Amino acid sequence: MARASGDELSSPADADQLTTVLGVDIDPELLVLALTHRSYAYEHGGLAHNERLEFLGDSILGQAVTVMLYRDNPELDEGELAKRRASLVSSAALSEVARSIGLGRFLLLGKGEEQTGGRDKSSILADTVEALIGATYLDRGGEHATDLVLRLIRPLLDNPERFGAAMDPKTSLQELAARVGRGLPSYQVKDSGPDHSKRFHATVLLGGTAVATGSGSSKKQAEMAAALEAWTILQSA
């Protein structure tokens, strides 16, 4: 599914590789649709893109995570359950899930997004995860879609340190930066697009040096995405 050269799609073997990683077969046309970013669609004569599937997948994701948390944590009250759900369905968490399965290389992106690092943009990765969940629901039904959600999300729960970072990346970054002597993080945020569809782009700085960037549909989401990326960089340094 990844772009092989020019505007061609790569071989069916790549589709098989992705569905193997996901652990579910998805109709090839729906799979392509789930991977098609609007920038690619617009550059190719107004093709359908993945935003409707993303809308559907977001709802399925929220329900599956809610049921999982309710069943697995009988000791938690609704406030704590809500906090955990919010962290697990956040753009920051979903983008980490996407990176863990190498999703970026399968995306269909326009040339502009390609040139500006779209394959590793947290917002694009997170949206595509939701679109894949939506495609799974349409093709295989609710049970398979729920199973996919749990396979993708559970690794965050199995890694408490990363789950903590995904839950509250700004606090996690602040604590890690202090431990390694990098000082207090600061953020610069810019927005783009029309008022009804703004995108926010955040840069996190440590000691006055830009360390990572992130984007989202709100200032908070953009800062969280940037913070998690910076935490990942410091953690692996």
User: Does 168 belong to an annotated binding site?
Assistant: no
DSSP state of 116: T
Known active-site residue 58: yes
54 is known to lie in a ligand binding site: yes
Task: Extract the tokens encoding 125.
Answer: 């990765």
SS3 content of the chain, % helix, strand, coil (to 5): 65, 10, 25
- 130 labelled ligand-binding: yes
Q: Exactly one of 51, 75, 80, 130 is catalytic; name it.
A: 130
User: 106 is written with which tokens?
Assistant: 């399968």
Please give the Cα distance from 152 to 136 (Å, whole number): 13
CA 191 → CA 124, 222, 223, 231, distances in Å?
16, 10, 12, 23
Q: How far is CA 147 from CA 68, 122, 129, in A?
A: 11, 23, 14
> From the annotation, which residues make up the binding site for Mg(2+)?
54, 127, 130
Q: Hey, which residues are catalytic here? A: 58, 130
